[in-house]
Structure 1
Amino acid sequence: MTTNDSSFEVSTDQSRLDIPMIYRFLSEQSSWAVGISRPVVERAIENSLCFGGYLDGRQIAFARVITDFATFANLVDVFVLPEYRGHGYGKQLVAAVLRHPSLQRLRRFMLATNDAQGLYERFGFTTPRNPETLMERYFPNIYLS
């Protein structure tokens, strides 16, 4: 799947992904995966539906969806490189993710965010209807040990 809105393009072609850039951002700049190893990033990418955001052919954004393509999806690792933020590329990226034909008619589409609730609310995401029914095993510093 490829979308093109002005000079910003979103593609699910994994062969185009700039793995070193994705790894560098996640392991050094993200607030959720600092210290993650390159093999873990590569394995996560291989086993997910990935979206690269490109400006003039250079990857500047990324998102990854973990899904069974039938009932559930989890949107993770969404980022736009800092020097490209504030131009609407994140909105275009999320819109492309939600338009993907394989992600339609899912019963549940989830994500976790510390600081981008406003962005995701524009796309219909809300706090869980019944948060008391959700549970997790969470190890926030697993990549640092």
Structure 2
Amino acid sequence: MTKATDNLRWQKSVNDDDYLVSTSKDLVDRAFVQSAFASEETYWAKPLPDEQLTVLLDNSLTLGLYKVIPAAPSPKSAETPDSPRTPSPTIADDPSEQLQQIGMARLITDHMTTAYLTDVYILPDYRTHGLGKWLIKCCNETFDAMPAMRRTFLVTSPEVGKRFYGRELGMWDVGDEKEHLACMTRRFFRMD
């Protein structure tokens, strides 16, 4: 069954560079995800064995943030009509453009009523271009594409994250609803 969130796409240009956010599972760079999980900045995550990463990605809606890399012109002598091409993700079915994943936001969701936002990460070199706000705006539009959305959740730092997600997504601290709602958790880590 096709979901309304399966292949959402957004494009943006910043400083003469083109960027793409996409929910396509086919574009997600598994090595990038593992690298993000290995980063000290994603202290809540760690790289996973390949089989576990497959399950994680198959059961998530990942918004990948990609830089569009135009192809360098190739000499005509290297081009022949029968030359094989290595398949690669492209922005508009143009094999001359490559995508380099530079960020992500992962949603754990039923694609209908509930979503949990986690694993928001952008490579440090791309954090001052407004791409983080744009990625979160794309998350918000993804939530809006879910027909019966009741509630979105996330866990973040009380200092910076709480202000950022409050401003960008209109979220509030669950403690503000303490008469009607309790947020409960169980935390554990396995070291295999």
Alignment TM class, shorter chain as reference: 0.7 to 0.9
- Quick one: which amino acid aligns to residue 130 of structure 1? E
Whichever of the two has the greater Rg, that structure is 2
Counterpart Cα distance in 1 of 2:183 and 2:124:
32
Unaligned runs of 5+ in 2: 1-7, 69-98
Counterpart Cα distance in 2 of 1:21 and 1:80:
10
User: Which residue pairs with 1:136 in the alignment?
Assistant: 185
CA RMSD of aligned residues (A): 1.9
Question: Larger % of helix: which?
Answer: 1
Identity of aligned residues (%): 30
User: Which residue pairs with 1:4 in the alignment?
Assistant: 11
Decide whether the 8 Å contact of 1:2 with 1:9 is kept in 2. Answer: yes
SS at match of 2:136: helix
| TM-score calculated relative to the size of structure 2 | 0.67
Provide runs of 4+ in structure 1 moved above 6 Å.
none
User: Which residue pairs with 2:152 in the alignment?
Assistant: 109
- Quick one: which amino acid aligns to residue 60 of structure 2? S
SS at match of 2:46: coil
SS at match of 1:94: helix
Counterpart Cα distance in 1 of 2:147 and 2:65:
20
User: Which residue pairs with 1:47 in the alignment?
Assistant: 59
Task: State the Cα distance separating 1:21 from its structure 2 match.
Answer: 1.1
Q: Mean Cα displacement is larger for which, 102-111 or 62-71? A: 102-111
Decide whether the 8 Å contact of 1:28 with 1:35 is kept in 2. Answer: no
Decide whether the 8 Å contact of 1:12 with 1:51 is kept in 2. Answer: yes
User: Which residue pairs with 2:131 in the alignment?
Assistant: 89
User: Which residue pairs with 1:76 in the alignment?
Assistant: 118
